[in-house]
Amino acid sequence: MGINSDKVRVKVPGSTANLGPGFDTLGMALDLFTWIEMSTAAETRIHLLSDGMDGLPQDKTNLIYEVAQLVFDKAGVQHPELEISMYSDVPLTRGLGSSAAAIVGGLAAANALIGSPLSDDTLFQMATALEDHPDNVGASLFGGLVVAFWDGNRAEYIRVEPNEQLEVLVAIPHFQLSTEKARHVLPREQSLANAVFNVGHSSVLVAALCTGRLDMIPLAMKDALHQPYRAPLVPGLEQILAEATDHGALGVALSGAGPTMLALVDRSSSRKAELEGFLQGTLQAAGIEATLMWLQPALSGVQVLTHLDEGCTLFENIKGDVRA
Ligand code: HSE
């Protein structure tokens, strides 16, 4: 098998993981996107088109280049030199799945470049092994809500259509928090009481999301396994977790490993301004600058774009679609 296309472009959503009690388990795709263009070339070149990517490698240690090599290995294809361009609206290291989006986008682009010999399931297994958790990568691959587990060997998932009343307000602090640092503060062992708390709350939350029982979200969207330990890393989080439902949120959680905080909101709520004020005021009082953003669940996962003008650059093609 060889190269099938000269150039491919993909659009992949960012995501939130750990939706409340669903630690490493429950993810949702969001309408903040990363675009990747990949083509064969005489020599490898990487172009990072958006702001905030300073420091990301632009050589063969680039994550997207590296995951493409894994696809070529798996498919038994010779490794071509690649020209890769990336534009992303997903902020880095904030808990909105930027690395999962890059991994999924890189895998999907490389697979499309060689005629898509690898199945979605194979890409999911590869992405989970790379990211270490299935919730962000599952959401970026399949869109919607993804309920997943990984036993270290295989990941399994079920995709659930998000309730159409659900809207999302995120507060994105202006500081970065690496998943590694945020995992390091977690205890290696947990009590049976915490385990039972999360199994119960996560099970009821998933049932509520599947059946449209939005009234249950404020009761079920609570966590004992990671948020209490991570709260010291994110000033204001403790108060937001305790009080956001009194200010119009259906539920609130640390998004992924943080520092972004995410509120689920009923889109017909009349209290959106109150919730914005509460989040911004609480973070300001804690000395944290943050950007608030209203987001929608993204219903599609990664897509190979077919309608783009081959003669235009990646940015020219997507400029009507990006947020900046
Ligand atoms: N679930 C991971 C964590 C982050 O909380 O450490 C996203 O995969």
pLDDT one-digit tens code per residue, 270-288: 999 999 999 999 999 999 9
DSSP strand pairing (82-88 vs 45-48): parallel
**Which residue, judged by its Cα, is nearest atom 5 of ligand 1?**
257
Q: Which CATH architecture has domain 166-295?
A: 2-Layer Sandwich (3.30)
Residue 257 Cβ < 6 Å to ligand 1: yes
186-211 pLDDT tens trace: 999 999 999 999 999 999 999 999 99
Alpha-carbon 265 to chain mean position: 19
Split at pLDDT 50, 70, 90, the class of 324 is low
Please name which of 71, 54, 168, 176 lies closest in space to residue 116, comparing C-alpha atoms. 71
Over range 172-176, report the average pLDDT.
93
Grade residue 312 by pLDDT with cuts at 50, 70 and 90: confident
Q: Output the pLDDT for position 311.
A: 75
Share of residues in the chain with pLDDT > 70 (%): 98
Spacing, Cα 54 to ligand 1 middle (Å):
23
What single letter denotes the amino acid at residue 261? Answer: M
Of residues 111 and 54, the one with the higher pLDDT is 111
Task: Please check if 98 is assigned to a binding site.
Answer: yes
Instruction: Tell me the average pLDDT across 66-72.
Output: 97
State the angle between helix axes of 98-113 and 134-142 in degrees (0 to 180), rounded to the nearest 10. Answer: 50
Please tell me the number of Cα atoms within 13 Å of 49 on its side-chain side: 19
Ligand 1 pocket residue status of 94, Cβ below 6 Å: no
To the nearest whole number, what is the mean pLDDT of the chain?
Answer: 94
For residue 7, pLDDT beyond 60: yes
Taking CA atoms only, the protein residue closest to ligand 1 atom 8 is 133
**Does ligand 1 lie within 6 Å of residue 24's CB atom?**
yes
The answer on pLDDT for 2 being more than 70 is: no
- Is pLDDT at 164 greater than 70 in this prediction? yes
The answer, yes or no, to whether residue 53 has pLDDT greater than 90, is no
pLDDT at 151 over 90: yes
CB 37 within 8 A of CB 108: no
The pLDDT of residue 222: 97
Share of the chain above pLDDT 90, in %: 87
Give, in words, the CATH class of 7-161+300-318. Answer: alpha beta
Mean pLDDT of 214-243: 97
Using the predicted structure, report yes or no on whether residue 1 has a pLDDT greater than 60: no
Q: Helix or strand or coil: residue 242? A: helix
Model pLDDT for residues 11-38, shown as the tens digit of each residue = 999 999 999 999 999 999 999 999 999 9
17 lines ligand 1 (CB under 6 A): yes
Atom of ligand 1 nearest to the CA of 100: 8
Q: Tell whether 94 is in a known binding site.
A: yes
**Confidence band of 159 (pLDDT split at 50, 70, 90):** very high
| 320 has pLDDT over 90 | no
Residue 307 has pLDDT above 80, yes or no: no
**From-to residues of CATH 3.30.230.10 in the chain:** 7-161+300-318
CATH 3.30.70.890 maps onto the chain at: 166-295
Q: Looking at residue 157, what is its pLDDT?
A: 98
- Distance in Å, CA 258 to ligand 1 centroid: 9
Ligand 1 center from residue 205 Cα (angstroms) = 18
Annotation-wise, does 91 bind a ligand?
yes
Determine the average pLDDT of the residues in 214-234.
Answer: 97
Q: Is 225 helix (H, G, I), strand (E, B) or coil?
A: coil
> For ligand 1, atom 3, which residue shows the shortest CA distance?
257
